[in-house]
Structure 1
Amino acid sequence: MPDKDAGTPRVFLVRHGETEWTISGRYTGRSDIPLTPDGEHQVSSSAGVIVGPGRIIDPSKITHLFISPRTRARRTYELLFDESAQKMIEGKSETTEDIREWEYGAYEGLLTAHIRAARKERGLDKERPWNIWVDGCEEGESADEVSNRLDSIIAKIREIQGPYMHGEKGADVVLIAHGHILRAFAKRWIGFPLSTSLPMMLEPGAVGVLSYEHHKVDEPAFLLGVNMGGSR
């Protein structure tokens, strides 16, 4: 049976590899923390399996990359795409603050337990614990502010991919960024407010995939299963 959505453009969400703060669970926004050796290995291992001609992420089919300016994201890009792949996507990458991590403000470098305890001491969150998806971050970004900047990227991607819903041209897009912002992006991709409870996991160095149903740009969807054979 033929794949009814074959050729539909995809959006690949790539989380940077492990850092020391990833291990400890500290909120890492603007802090420029490098990858650990294990983090570099995570990305390199993923690259060897999923990136290359005829593989899931085929450089010849990439039309645009959005990359966070943080060192950990830039290094992930360098590890994910070897020299030959970088030549193929030359001129298609955009390093932009629009896909930076959530601005944690006063919560930068803290753990969730510490944030909740400190807020409780100040008489906040009497009815429920602090939830970043609802409450945002003091001196940082609100959920609405994050939604607005992600919606602008989504609009750009839909404009890029809209003319090629039936595979007329390779129009895959890659985002290389961070755990919270990529999960927020996934929610906004399908039109959910960030406050919507939609538990998602994206491990360091991992890749998530979004696409569209029925070859229609106004029917965005999660792509829950990817054929590991790669080429479509």
Structure 2
Amino acid sequence: MTLRIYLMRHGETEWSLSGKHTGRVDIPLTDNGEQEASRLGQRLATTKFDHVLVSPLRRARQTCELAGCDEHAEIEPHLVEWANGDYEGRTHADVFKQRPGWNLFVDGCPNGESPDDISARADELIERLISLDGNVALFSHSHFGRVLGVRWIGLPVQAGQHFILDTASISVLCFQHAREDEYGRDPAIESWNG
């Protein structure tokens, strides 16, 4: 079997709609977010998953459930969103007033995770993922998903700022060559933010 990782961002929340940094606060999906998650399930209906891993946060678990993937889902703590520390619940514009030029992917958050912290967490998860085979569903979050994507292909965490993830989106991570004896298992992104 060939490893294919389906990375799904959770559906809309009040904070994702308003642009507030939503890290570890455990908020539910909006009605629209629930509809997005159900539509996500329709898009995933023809894919059989050998493994389903989900962030422990409610919005990701709800998305997994509404997408119909929760029967054998396993909570994976590494999939939790970037810890925003002092910037939790604040918008970019609000943070810029206090700290002009701030960039999450470069500066991290005071009393939260640094770029090095989240990069190490993504790398630990990747080590687990490459030991799996078949189709793997991951239900996670915007910023962590972006970090996971860039670390998968060997880019530094700072490159994550250039990879947008919409709510209830699907991205697929894979290897360019399925067999290691062919040319090596070069990590690749098959699709992003679909």
TM-score (norm 1): 0.76
Cross-structure match for 2:103 = 131
Structure 1 equivalent of residue 171 of structure 2: 208
Structure 1 residues 139 and 190: alpha-carbon distance in aligned structure 2, compared to 1, 3 A threshold = same
Distance 1:197-1:159 versus aligned 2 partners, 3 A rule: closer
Q: Give matches, 1:182-221, under 5 Å.
A: 182-196=145-159, 199-216=162-179, 218-221=185-188
On the 8 A contact 2:6/2:138 being kept in 1, the answer is yes
Identity %: 38
TM superposition shift of 1:8:
3.3
Q: By how many angstroms is 1:86 displaced?
A: 4.8
Q: Does residue 224 in structure 1 map to residue 184 in structure 2?
A: no
Q: Considering Cα pairs closer than 8 Å and 6+ residues apart, tell me whether 1 or 2 has the greater RCO.
A: 1
The yes-or-no answer on 1:97 pairing with 2:77 is yes
Unaligned runs of 5+ residues in structure 1 are: 1-6, 121-128, 162-170, 226-232
Partners of 2:166 and 2:16 lie apart in 1 by 10
CA-based RMSD of the aligned residues comes to 1.7
String of CA shifts for 1:116-157, please: whole Å, max 9, x gaps. Answer: 21124xxxxxxxx11111111110000010011111110111
Question: Which residue does the alignment assign to 2:143?
Answer: 180
Q: Does 1:51 align with 2:44?
A: yes
Per-residue deviation, residues 56-91 of structure 1 (Å, max 9, x unmatched): xx22xx22222111111111011011xxx655xx3x
- Structure 2 SS opposite 1:173: strand
Q: How do residues 1-232 of structure 1 correspond to structure 2 at under 5 angstroms? A: 8-48=2-42, 50-52=43-45, 55=46, 58-59=47-48, 62-81=49-68, 86-87=70-71, 90=72, 93-120=73-100, 129-161=101-133, 171-196=134-159, 199-216=162-179, 218-224=185-191
TM-score, scaled relative to structure 2: 0.90
